[in-house]
Structure 1
Amino acid sequence: MTEPAAPPRRARLWEIDLLRTAAIVMMVVYHLVYDIRFLAPDVAPNPYDGGWRALQIACASTFLTVVGLSFWVRDARLRARGVDARERWRSGVPRGLQVAAGALAVSVATGIALGDELVRFGILHLIAVAHLVVLPGLVGLRHWNAVLGVAAVAAGLALQGTSSAQSALMVIGLDPGETGVDWVPLLPWIGPCLLGVAFGALLYPGGERRALLRGLGDGSPRAHAAGAPGRRSLTIYLVHQPILIALVAGALVATGTPLDPR
């Protein structure tokens, strides 16, 4: 007796890769200004204010929404194949641990470079927790994740400025006084992830495009090429800053701008 044929591998959704690429572009642009400000504070605009702060929020929100959207698509495709909840979670653990390892690497590297300003709970830490803990438990709520997502954002905004002596509570969103750079706590930032799950349930039932999106088709070669960075987002996230800092430092030195890292 022959073994039953394995289900065919589902095609990637090029538009999701393209969204992730858009987030990468925003990230690189923002970090370019951030690095100039870090190396030569009198040269660059303030990355923590105005339009640059808006870009930072838009970038993180896009990344996290795509995390939730991608999680939904993958989970729905596994459900369509009859995979139970426990096996669906187990199959996602390697990716979650990969992201967690990346988060640890970022913490170690920034600890060496920045001391007390190291990344304690940044966007990769949040994505790892979302993959391994939050989304597996809530993905089954489908569209109701939109309500939870809005509630998470509202709760996070309400917690702004609230301090706690317990540093571990910074993961939730309480400020212990030393959060380091790139602090992305669960409240409000798990909200975009949950909204992404809700969008996935609406737009990709069963893990495939619903009727109103089927006109997107397989995508043009240009669309697939543009989405290529989105298929390597973790690698790009981990390597882009050392490269950017080296390029920015070189450009500043070449133009005679004194370096004054702070």
Structure 2
Amino acid sequence: MSEASLQGRRALVTGSVQGIGLAIAQALGRQGCSVALHGLATPAQAQQARASVLASGAPAVEVFTHDLREASAVQQLMEAVLAAPLDILVNNAGIQHTAALADMPRARWDDIIAINLSAAFDTMRLALPKMAQQGYGRVVNIASVHGLVASVNKAPYVAAKFGLVGMSRVAALEYASTGSRASGGVTVNCICPGWTETAIIQPQIDARAAALGVGREDAVRDLLKEKQPSLRTSLPDEIARVVCWLCEPAAHNLTGAAIPVDGGWTAQ
């Protein structure tokens, strides 16, 4: 993958003021993309994220703060973003809540489905027709290993991620013949990360380290041995590099895939 290989392209990355989303935005910036950031953040957090993506090399960075739980807010977000051509859409925004199915609050179900699945439906249905007109478009949905296999106490999250993988395959089929090798075509794919180094997992690592009386590295290995055979987490930037490759024109025939980055979790 060459430097600035996406020069002149424009991307929207939802949930991109921290974690995997921010790493994706920075990686796209390094490839020459203008980036529309999105997330529920304080003004200081939003400014810091914008500055970091500009520093990565992005020629322009916008910030949007719409609440994806509301369909009307997703509509407003896309109207604002699609005022200019959009080449790349990365649906990364997501939330999680763990509880047994019988104990899961209905409001949590509604919020997780809205943000993790319904918002991606709306961004895709609004962005893909314009991508088809351009002859080039990339939709990369950040699903999860839980879009391929289930775990206990995660009913809405698993339901949303399985739904995201299925919806992505439908969209991939509908747009598979759009464009050409020369234009780059329109593709829709999912990336399904396993354990990834983000702030979300740090409390679990800390708890495991305290319970075992060991250091962080040993705690991580003990935590991962239950699911992830590599015993190594992924870094957000490693997920971001997969996103960038999927956006390359050379990836015009890679569509409808759910790519696990999970250290062998789903190979078992």
Q: Which one has a larger percent strand, Structure 1 or Structure 2?
A: 2
Name the structure with the higher helix share: 1
Do they superpose with TM above 0.5? no
TM-score norm. by structure 2 comes to 0.30
- The higher radius of gyration belongs to 1
User: Which structure ranks higher in relative contact order (CA pairs < 8 Å, sequence separation ≥ 6)?
Assistant: 1
